[in-house]
Amino acid sequence: MEDLPASLAERLRELTYNERALAYLQIDAALVLAGAGGHLENYGLAAMRLGEPAVEQAFFLEGLLPLEETPYFVPSVEIDCGRAADLHFHLEGDTTWVVLFDVTAYRDATRRLQQKAYEMTLLQEKEAQLNRRLEEMNRELEASNDFLVRISTKISHYLAPQIFKSIFSGQKDVTIHTERKELTIFFSDIKDFTATTEGLQPEEITHLLNEYFTEMSAIALEHGGTVDKFIGDALVIFFGDPETMGTMEDARACLNMATHMQRRLAELNVKWRSAGTEQPFRVRMGINTGFCNVGNFGSADRMDYTAIGAEVNLAARLQAIAEPGHVVISYETYALVRDIVAARALPPISVKGINRTVVPYVVEGVLDKAGRKIEIFSEHMTGLDFYLDPRAVDAAAIERIRTTLRNAIAALDGRGGEDTPGGVARPDQESSPPKANDKAM
């Protein structure tokens, strides 16, 4: 210090003693306060009593005395008063000196910086934590979504695809609610199903029926039909809900579906016959168009999406009067499809719940665009699998077909009046259906 110019020495004294509020404690070997001075009041130490234990008066000294190393420094210490001090300890013989410098301004500046940095870090931590939580939630969501998709896929097999779609897209509410709509309803039933499958094992019947329903449902879907339900071997399909193409188009689609089904059934019968099924499936079909109630029926816990009403019953009735392998439609349907079918009126019938006289029409064939009847010949019974669609025949094969048919007729003629195998003709086989019925669509 002596080397310093007087002005600088004075400034240093000013800086340390006044501006940094220098204070000191002098502690003897017995840890008794031997002296104290400077700006003690700045640190709340104004009442220090000389001759008394130092640690009891300045509790921040607890654990630090006697000094284990010298010098010893504790930076930025805040004692009761709220001010921060750097504590400098050093030993001189048996005397411990403690020098306090006020660093409150420095502490406050550091705190501001540190506070900003910590708040930033906390925000980043929070963000990372939120992101983790978000990812976790996303994973959970994906898992529940996968689960829902699996479940809904399972459920979808119990519902018509259109109904499933309209429910799962939120278009339809799952509440007891019905609407009055003009529908075309289709009923089909396998003629003498029990007798036909008599010789088969239950597993074979199940397999056969499942294949039949799978094939028929696919055709229904292809034509825009809503498969309502399977009742034993019967099939109920409607057109016009949940999606409609207009009453006329719905009716035409239904009729086209029915003829498509009959064609496919002929093919299936060939396949089943070659697989060992003795009797072919012969299906009667009924179609009607009219206003029905369609929607959810049942209880709030267990509902069925279906159509009900007298017009639905009429479709079932028309199916019952149809000959096996044929389609019977009501006049209401016929009026909508007359330009695409050849049909013949049957005697009027009356149906409970329907006030008008119902005239059924048996479909004899489908008309092409020029109004010509497209004839398809189909007959299946023990000893005969016959299906002929003249339009589908290759020109080169025509002669071969003619020969086969001629030979077949000659063979039948040669057989003359022999008994049918087993001696007794089955009712299905013995009476040939009305002439028109020899031709399916």
Binding site residues, other proteins, CB under 8 A: 52-53, 55-56, 59-60, 62-64, 68, 72-80, 84, 107, 110-111, 114-115, 117-119, 121-122, 125, 129
Rounded to whole angstroms, how far apart are CA atoms 362 and 326?
7
Residue 130 vs 148, nearer CB to other proteins: 130
Rounded to whole angstroms, how far apart are CA atoms 174 and 280?
41
Handedness of CA 132, 134, 135, 141 (dihedral sign): positive
Task: Provide the minimum distance between the beta carbon of 64 and other proteins in the complex, in angstroms, as a whole number.
Answer: 5
List b or e across 138-172, with b for residues whose CB sees 16 or more CB atoms inside 10 angstroms.
eeeeeeeeeeeeeeeeeeeeebbebbbebbeeeeb
Task: Provide the minimum distance between the beta carbon of 119 and other proteins in the complex, in angstroms, as a whole number.
Answer: 8
List b or e across 422-435, with b for residues whose CB sees 16 or more CB atoms inside 10 angstroms.
eeeeeebeeeeeee
Task: Provide the minimum distance between the beta carbon of 106 and other proteins in the complex, in angstroms, as a whole number.
Answer: 9
Q: Which two tokens stand for residue 382?
A: 């023990």
Residue 54 vs 327, nearer CB to other proteins: 54
Residue 132 vs 177, nearer CB to other proteins: 132
Residue 59 vs 158, nearer CB to other proteins: 59
Residue 91 vs 308, nearer CB to other proteins: 91
Handedness of CA 214, 216, 217, 222 (dihedral sign): positive
Angle (CA) 374 378 381, round 5°: 170
Residue 16: DSSP 8-state: I
Residue 54 vs 160, nearer CB to other proteins: 54
Task: Provide the minimum distance between the beta carbon of 20 and other proteins in the complex, in angstroms, as a whole number.
Answer: 16
Task: Provide the minimum distance between the beta carbon of 82 and other proteins in the complex, in angstroms, as a whole number.
Answer: 10
Residue 281: DSSP 8-state: P
Q: How far is CA 128 from the centre of its chain?
A: 32
Residue 85 vs 336, nearer CB to other proteins: 85
Task: Provide the minimum distance between the beta carbon of 77 and other proteins in the complex, in angstroms, as a whole number.
Answer: 5
Task: Provide the minimum distance between the beta carbon of 96 and other proteins in the complex, in angstroms, as a whole number.
Answer: 13
